Structure 1
């Protein structure tokens, strides 16, 4: 059910910003952006800072890897908006749409390195079951991921478990493929700030 709050409740400055974004980009302002501008002191500012650090901060994972993690976690959660947004961004970051599609279709047969596959498998379990254990972590480390990569992947997982649930709770509207691609270009250029 779409909550109407994403259509109203903004100050004059934010409304003006949304108008400028629509005019300059020729694309609608995605609901994800609208959400972080609604009560930024309560949610938006913190969410942007955390997500930007998880997705664009220093990491041994590439931007494409982290966007793929976001898409994968979102798929496990069944968040259509987030899957579309982050698979579009991963495809653009990797410059390899078939690889992203393959991972989302069948992780076990997808053409990705074992550390990433094991990490995605662990993130999927954590998202589905709400818990992972020492054996799960040992499997990821044995596949070649470093402890720091595990930490970074868990940050991505946390960010998109929250974002995906909010997307569904607020009923984020799906965009056209062209709109998602424009959003992907923006995210690759500017990040999540």
Structure 2
């Protein structure tokens, strides 16, 4: 359901900010950013702080690996906006063909074993949470994933299991690849908070 307040902002000040940022970006401000201007209690500063910590905070995973994890969760949740947005950010540090291969079939993609094992755990967490057991965590650890990497990856997946659902529920507009690329640069520079 498309809410007019998400499109244009819920106050005169927010409408002006959306217009100014869109002009500076040279493209329509993506809906994920527009939601931040819609009733602060809806996504609020807590979600922004959590996203900033999970996606940009200290981690043994690179920013680009975490963005790829976000795109993978988005793919499993059939969220084309989030796949496009986070794939665009991931490809600023991961080869585009590798990211696409991962999104197509991470089992066969040319990615390191620890990332593949982590994605297997995140896939179960996302699609079949009732089947997630200690064995999946042990398999990831045996593949070389540290306990902290598992915690960090679980935070990314949890975050994206929430974000992808509200992106779909609010019917986010799907930007062009060029617009996703512009927004990716902005996200790398400004972060999530």
The question of a shared fold, defined as TM-score above 0.5 by the shorter chain, is answered with: yes
Q: Distance in 1 between matches of 2:115 and 2:180?
A: 24
Provide structure 1 residue ranges, at least 5 long, that are not aligned to the other structure: none
2:4 maps to 1:4: yes
| Equivalent residue number for residue 110 of structure 1 | 109
Are the equivalent residues in 2 in contact too, given 1:35–1:44 (CA < 8 A)?
Answer: no
Aligned residues between the structures: 192
Where does structure 1 differ by over 2 angstroms across 4 or more consecutive aligned residues? 1-5, 41-44
Q: Deviations over 1:20-66 (max 9, x none)?
A: 11111111011111112212134221111111100000000001100
Q: Distance in 1 between matches of 2:129 and 2:122?
A: 10
2:124 maps to 1:125: yes
Are the equivalent residues in 1 in contact too, given 2:8–2:18 (CA < 8 A)?
Answer: no
| Equivalent residue number for residue 28 of structure 2 | 28
Are the equivalent residues in 2 in contact too, given 1:55–1:156 (CA < 8 A)?
Answer: yes
Report the secondary structure of 1:110's partner residue: coil
Provide structure 2 residue ranges, at least 5 long, that are not aligned to the other structure: none
Output the TM-score relative to the length of structure 1: 0.95
Q: What is the Cα-based RMSD across aligned positions, in Å?
A: 1.2
Q: Distance in 2 between matches of 1:107 and 1:42?
A: 33
| Equivalent residue number for residue 37 of structure 1 | 37
Q: Deviations over 1:102-154 (max 9, x none)?
A: 10111111111111000011101110012411111111111110000000001
